[in-house]
């Protein structure tokens, strides 16, 4: 486990197993990939994964990448507060870097305020090439 997170104290066995698989992965994983990774631990059905993911997302330990239908462990401590996380997805190596920049979040909140839109959450996903892959 990296230094990014101490486990939420009340994770169940399934939640903990799913979190550890995501946290040990370089790249986002689909729910079915997680399922396959946990067959040895007794997982049999997609719902076992989806239910754990649902809780982990509520705890802020895991994010869903909408454009990939995949999931990543949060790379920020205490991420639950970050309503406006963003992700840069490398189309070559598949790695994702997460960011939470006030310079990006603020103008979005401002737009919402001007429009009278009550912001409940936001999703920002960038496609492109990461620094390591740009010279490839």
Partner DNA sequence: TCGGGATGTGTTATGACATAACATAACGAA
Partner DNA sequence: TTCGTTATGTTATGTCATAACACATCCCGA
Q: Which residues make up each annotated binding site for Zn(2+)?
A: 90, 93, 130, 133
Half-sphere exposure of 97 (CA within 13 A, CB side): 9
- Using the contact rule CB under 7 A, the part of the chain among 24-32, 75-83, 100-108, 120-128 near DNA is 24-32
CB under 7 A: which stretch of 1-9, 37-45, 74-82, 92-100 binds DNA?
A: 37-45
Tokens 């946290």 map to which residue? 23
Residue 14: closest CA among 66, 54, 70: 54
Known binding-site residue numbers: 90, 93, 130, 133
Site size for DNA, by CB under 7 A? 22
* Nearest Cα residue to 8 out of 47, 62, 49: 62
Q: Does 27 bind its own copies (CB under 8 A)?
A: no
Measuring CA to CA, which residue among 48, 23, 24, 27 is closest to residue 36? 48
Which residues of this protein are in contact with its own copies, per CB under 8 A?
A: 66-67, 86, 88, 90-91, 97, 99, 101, 103-104, 107-108, 110-112, 115-131, 134
């Amino acid at each position: 486990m990296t230094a990014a997170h101490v486990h939420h104290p009340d994770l169940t066995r399934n939640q903990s197993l799913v979190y550890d698989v995501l946290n040990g992965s370089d790249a986002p994983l689909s729910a079915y990939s997680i399922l396959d990774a946990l067959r040895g631990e007794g997982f049999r059905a997609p719902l076992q994964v989806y239910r754990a993911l649902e809780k982990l997302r509520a705890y802020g330990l895991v994010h869903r990448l909408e454009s990939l239908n995949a999931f990543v462990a949060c790379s920020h401590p205490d991420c639950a507060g970050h309503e406006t996380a963003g992700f840069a997805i490398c189309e070559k190596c598949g790695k994702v870097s997460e960011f939470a920049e006030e310079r990006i979040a603020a103008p979005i909140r401002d737009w919402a305020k001007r429009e009278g839109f009550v912001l409940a959450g936001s999703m920002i996903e960038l496609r492109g090439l990461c620094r390591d892959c740009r010279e490839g």
